[in-house]
Amino acid sequence: MLYLHFGDEREEGYWLKCFKQQAPGLQVVTAKDKLAPEAVKWVGVWNPKPNFFKAFPNLQGVFALSAGVDALVARDDLPSSLPIMRLLDAGMAQQMIDYLLWVALTLQGDFDLYLQRQKQKNWQPELSKNPTKPRVGILGLGTLGIKVAQKFSQLGYSVSGWKRTAAFVEGVEVLVGDEGFVNLLKKTDLLVNLLPNTAATNKILNKANLEKLPQGASLVNIGRGQQLVDKDLISLLDTQHLRLAVLDVFSTEPLPENHPFWAHSQVIITPHIAAYTLPELAVEQVVNNLKRLAKGEKPTGLVDSTLGY
Ligand code: NDP
Ligand code: OXD
């Protein structure tokens, strides 16, 4: 039996419909159903409340209905021996590409500057159009980062990416290690964070690192808010070392009303929408993984609890 939990009945209803269509024989329940918690073997979740997992004594594994699993890995009600399986892409890579193209085109067309000038009723064109595309640096060349990197490379951008382990990615300069990280920062005009939040990447977007970017570079954070030191970013924007920050994720979500990002003219805020999970594709992955597990095979998207992603 799979227990599905979003904490939102409408959303759960839609996912239940997808499960019914794709796996009519699979028993999927939600909080609305009368269930014996002992019967639940698997749960599919997004952001459950503290102690949620303690209710299920016979749990065999958790399906994260998201790409990021930092919040699950950090919980104290889940034994680290319990497998966590996360979503791989599930429609998100193309949405990330669209989001990042919007940012790149904003910079190329100086539209961020015109939005600021509009607020001041200031009719001031730049002297000319930017002759070159920004050099793109992507932190995290995983399931999502690699697809973003390749698309930008195909579109004629110069793209570097940073990952933990070395790899060949056609059209993309792949960098690893501390030296690779600094090299990437030094030649990046548009820095994209797509790293998972782990002990090794928490607060990685700090002053010492961000000031290695060339003067006038911009940042997009679509990884996790905990990876950014907010006050360091603000100080680098205020001194004009950085031009623009486009932020989709925050250490506290929703972003509190009194946070200085809201009113900052060089910050664009989106409410954790860079990419939505597409339920049809996500359900397909969960169903296939349940089949794999039943046959004793390794599931896809299995999280390495020691690495935290
Ligand atoms: P993956 O786990 O597939 O990729 C992670 C990448 O980061 C890998 O390339 C990995 O390297 C690299 N990495 C991890 N740790 C380090 C490190 N210490 N140093 C250098 N590189 C490192 O994740 P996804 O691509 O699926 O997702 C990335 C993140 O995007 C998620 O964790 C989530 O936080 C965020 N996200 C945000 C969304 C939004 O709407 N804003 C939606 C979906 C995801 P290697 O390849 O060597 O293992
Ligand atoms: C995420 C997601 O990890 O939405 O942010 O999948």
Query: 273: pLDDT confidence band, cut at 50, 70 and 90?
Result: very high
Q: Which of 301, 295, 278 is nearest to 15 (CA)?
A: 278
Q: Which of 195, 249, 239 is nearest to 217 (CA)?
A: 239
Paired tokens of 44:
């599919």
The answer as to whether 300 is a domain residue is no
Q: CA-CA distances (angstroms) from residue 182 to 37, 143, 177, 178?
A: 50, 23, 9, 6
Could you read off the pLDDT of 222-249 as tens digits, one per residue? 999 999 999 999 999 999 999 999 999 9
* pLDDT attached to residue 35: 84
Ligand 1 atom 18: the closest Cα is on which residue?
A: 200
Asked if 109 and 208 sit in the same domain, the reply is yes
Check if 161 has its Cβ closer than 6 Å to any atom of ligand 1.
no
* pLDDT attached to residue 77: 96
Q: Which of 163, 113, 112, 155 is nearest to 137 (CA)?
A: 163
147 φ, ψ (degrees, to nearest 5): -70, -40
Q: How far apart are CA 64 and CA 43, in angstroms?
A: 8
Is there a contact between 303 and 80 (Cβ–Cβ < 8 Å)?
Answer: no
How many angstroms is it from 89 CA to the middle of ligand 1? Answer: 11
Q: How far apart are CA 306 and CA 270, in angstroms?
A: 31
Element (H, E) at 247: strand 242-247
Check if 67 has its Cβ closer than 6 Å to any atom of ligand 2.
yes
Q: Residue 290 pLDDT > 90, yes or no?
A: yes
Nearest ligand to the CA of 275 is: 1
* pLDDT attached to residue 34: 84
Asked if 203 and 82 sit in the same domain, the reply is no
The answer as to whether 250 is a domain residue is yes
Q: Which of 100, 106, 185, 110 is nearest to 150 (CA)?
A: 100
Could you read off the pLDDT of 153-193 as tens digits, one per residue? 999 999 999 999 999 999 999 999 999 999 999 999 999 99
Residue with tokens 């021996």: 81
Could you read off the pLDDT of 38-64 as tens digits, one per residue? 999 999 999 899 999 999 999 999 999
Is there a contact between 173 and 150 (Cβ–Cβ < 8 Å)?
Answer: no
Helix, strand, coil fractions of the chain, as percent rounded to 5: 35, 15, 50
Asked if 126 and 210 sit in the same domain, the reply is yes
* pLDDT attached to residue 231: 98
Asked if 134 and 216 sit in the same domain, the reply is yes
Asked if 28 and 78 sit in the same domain, the reply is yes
Q: Residue 123 pLDDT > 90, yes or no?
A: yes
Q: Which of 100, 81, 200 is nearest to 147 (CA)?
A: 100
Pocket test of ligand 1: the residue of 195, 202, 272 to mutate, having most ligand atoms within 8 Å of its CB, is 195
Mean pLDDT computed over 81-110: 98
The answer as to whether 231 is a domain residue is yes
C-alpha Rg value of the chain to the nearest Å: 21
Q: Which residues pair with 193 in a beta bridge?
A: 139, 221
Q: Which of 34, 31, 79 is nearest to 53 (CA)?
A: 79
Check if 67 has its Cβ closer than 6 Å to any atom of ligand 1.
yes
Asked if 74 and 104 sit in the same domain, the reply is no
Mean pLDDT computed over 78-104: 97
| Domain housing 223 | 92-269
Is residue 86 annotated as part of the catalytic site, yes or no? no
How many angstroms is it from 201 CA to the middle of ligand 1? Answer: 10
Q: What is the mean pLDDT of the chain?
A: 97
Q: How far apart are CA 58 and CA 79, in angstroms?
A: 12
Asked if 150 and 247 sit in the same domain, the reply is yes
Ligand 2 atom 3: the closest Cα is on which residue?
A: 68
How many angstroms is it from 65 CA to the middle of ligand 2? Answer: 8
Is residue 272 annotated as part of the catalytic site, yes or no? yes
Query: 138: pLDDT confidence band, cut at 50, 70 and 90?
Result: very high
Q: Which of 307, 286, 282 is nearest to 61 (CA)?
A: 286
- For residue 65, the ligand 2 atom closest to its alpha carbon is 6
